[in-house]
Structure 1
Amino acid sequence: MNTEIRDSESQFVARLAATPFGARQARRLAVEKLDSWGLPSEGPALIVAELAANAVTHGRVPGRDFRMGLALADGVLRIEVVDVRGDRVPGVRDAGAWAEAGRGLVLVDALADRWGVDRGLPPCKSVWAEVDVRGGSGGP
């Protein structure tokens, strides 16, 4: 699978292999894009890494890719990872259940201003996070 990338002034989308390499590539591409937009990348890069790792670990179907997207509008950075396992949906949990599920979404919850899950057209789901960026005029 070749990486497929769509890039514009305020949006970036990459279709990546649902493999550990694809998850690492998602983080690297996100850092490059955030840097080009002049945004701090540390927190958002960790969010991308966790969501991409979850897509590869829990949302993988052999032969199917996942999609990572970044969008910047009105001072909000939206990070979105779409996979093809809509039957496996993470949810907001109490503290005890978080510990059982691992730390990935706890980290996303701590770093993002908002996050959630949207069910797409079957069989897809989208796990997203939003980060309010300072001085955001709505564009890079």
Structure 2
Amino acid sequence: MIRNLIVLGCTALLTIGLSFGSFAGSAPDADSDGVPDAYDNCVNTPNGPLLATGNCSSQEDYDGNGYGQPCDTDVNNDGSTGLDDIAIVITAQGNGADDISDFNCDLGVGLDDLATALSQITFTPGPSGLSCAAPTATNCSAQ
């Protein structure tokens, strides 16, 4: 009898727990691009999942630092966007596709890419311009 009550109680608790779990919601996706924030290399820029192609996709990370091109105007990887990065972008304009300076993935470096770089001058690479924008996702300590 007691065993049956214990089994019944455990079953009831499991059922209630599963019911509440269905209201938990999905993983946060601040920019609604289908990539959960914990795995998104541009948290506030909707740039979709990384495609396994040789073509430019907005999730591409040509310098391998963990941030997609729209969030990473630090072209020379010295830790922040500076005049040296601006010079690289200016030099790349009109010379065909230069993936690392093509921040909007339109397959060419233009004034729009220069404007993006200028808007992020003195910023460190990342979704918010902080060196550790998502401490949980990057295992960094909060700034």
Q: What TM-score do the two structures reach when normalised by structure 1?
A: 0.29
Richer in strand (by share): 1
From the CA coordinates, give the structure whose radius of gyration is larger: 2
